[in-house]
Structure 1
Amino acid sequence: MARCEQVLTSVDGVISRMRDLDAVLPARDGVAVFNRVYLTVTEAVDRHIDAGRFPDARAAITLDVRFAERYLAAVDAASRGRQPPACWRPLFQYRRHPGVRPLQFALAGVNAHIGHDLALAVVDSCRTLACEPADLEDEFDGVGELLVSLEERIREELMPGPDVLRITDPLTHLLGAWSLERARDAAWTAARALWALRRLPDVAGEFADSLDTTVGFAGRMLLTPLRD
């Protein structure tokens, strides 16, 4: 497999940015809710890299950093009064809405990051490493397994208790309508399509814009206020 010898920003750099955000954002802020759970999984990726659990540490670092950079770029855009990508706009628009539950904020962030950013991060990584998406499949799968653990953590920590979450609760229906596994599979398909279209920049741009819009629409549904 072709690998680039370029020295990359360490995962510690993006972890530091997320910790800084965690320190300044109000705990109930919707972006803060997502940031906390994403920080947890990024720290787990860092530990796995240090323990040699990825077949290619450089590829894993590249993918993880390029992935995180897209979220951090959205945060920077919003903080400077600019529009973040469409997939992130619902979370930033509803981040302080009292009728949106913490679990919804977390899932909306995961939806934006997996549904849109992950595919583009694979393409970014292929360009950085001068490789094909197939060369990153092991690293993609390894990070994906940790993302599944992220969803489990979200549900364990943010899921209301059984006395609150009833079968008739709208949140139950929202949870049943979204799947991280499906989103991850779709991200891999989208990454391969974008890579195949790289020599047709106009078509690739239209595809990426459509993906951004579609994921943003799903995020808006996930953030439907469930109480006043």
Structure 2
Amino acid sequence: MAQSVQLTHRPETVDTVLARMRVLGATLPEQDGIAVFNRVYLAVTEEVDRLVDAGRFTDPRAVATLDVRFAERYLSAVDAVAGGRRPPACWRPLFQFRRHPGVRPLQFALAGINAHIGHDLALAVVDTCRALECEPTELEDEFDRVGDLLVSLEERIREDLMPGPDLLQIADPLTHLLGSWSLERARDATWTAARALWALRRLPDVAGEFTQRLDAAVGFAGRMLLTPLPD
């Protein structure tokens, strides 16, 4: 199950998370699929940290806790692969195709976002509720604020990583492939999944099966996003 994957070094603060992502980015080749996603995620985490410091969140402790628990899920997948273990199913396509010459940087970025939002975020909400001894509804405002930030960045990510204006044609395979996935829809589904997992927390067998099926479904979507395309 996804919950069994543990970090080699468990980060405890947003600064520690940021430091680990910066080190990871410095050690990977620029075109590596994990490096592409890592740059995007680092930018998002830096922006969340900036907004927390600026007092833009009602409950900064909740945001910081969610931010760290969320990042732990991604970093634990990186640690699993580095240690010769299998990462959660949602991350496997990105690690498998990370160096494929037929996969574009935008595909790498969105496949990573798909894995992290579609699977990891739901588990991170549950982790945060346990850590803060609160209900998911008490995190909803902060969840929505962070989600709005992610959605606003998605358009910029697409613009920055789209290979060129000729690929904006509706018939282009990349445009067609990526147009079928929406971060906003993924975020909404994640909130529902988080609430379901919280409701199932006293039924570990059912919660485990739910998590495994979520993991597999998100992994399947990631595999579709990483379909190699002709030049």
Verify: 1:142 aligned to 2:142, yes or no. no
Identity over the aligned pairs, expressed in percent? 79
Task: Tell me whether 1:171 sits opposite 2:174 in the alignment.
Answer: yes
Matches within 5 A, 1:96-135: 96-135=99-138
Give the structure 2 partner of residue 14 of structure 1: 17
1:39-59 deviation digits (Å, cap 9, x = unpaired): 000000000100111111110
Counterpart position of 1:37: 40
CA contact (8 A) 1:114 1:187 kept: yes
Contact 1:38 1:150 in 2 (8 A): no
Contact residue 37 and residue 150 of structure 1 kept, 8 A: no
Which structure 2 segments of 5+ residues have no match?
Answer: 1-10
* Cα RMSD, aligned residues only: 1.1
For normalisation by structure 2, the TM-score amounts to 0.93
Q: CA deviation at 1:117?
A: 0.3
The yes-or-no answer on 1:197 pairing with 2:200 is yes
Partners of 2:28 and 2:152 in 1: CA distance: 24
Aligned length: 221
Counterpart contact for 2:122–2:193, Cα < 8 Å: yes
**Contact 2:33–2:108 under 8 Å retained in 1:** yes
* TM-score (normalizing by structure 1): 0.95
Query: What displacement does 1:9 show?
Result: 2.3
Partner Cα separation in structure 2 for residue 77 and residue 140 of structure 1 = 27
**Structure 1 residue runs without a partner (length 5+):** 1-7
Match of 2:26 among 23, 26, 33: 23
Superposed displacement of residue 189, structure 1:
0.1
Question: 2:100 is aligned with what amino acid?
Answer: H
Q: Deviations over 1:141-191 (max 9, x none)?
A: 111011112312211210122124422211111121100000000000000
Matched-pair contact (CA < 8 Å) for 1:91–1:109: yes
Work out the CA distance in 2 between the residues paired with 1:152 and 1:41: 13
Asked if the contact 2:33/2:94 (under 8 Å) is kept, the reply is: yes
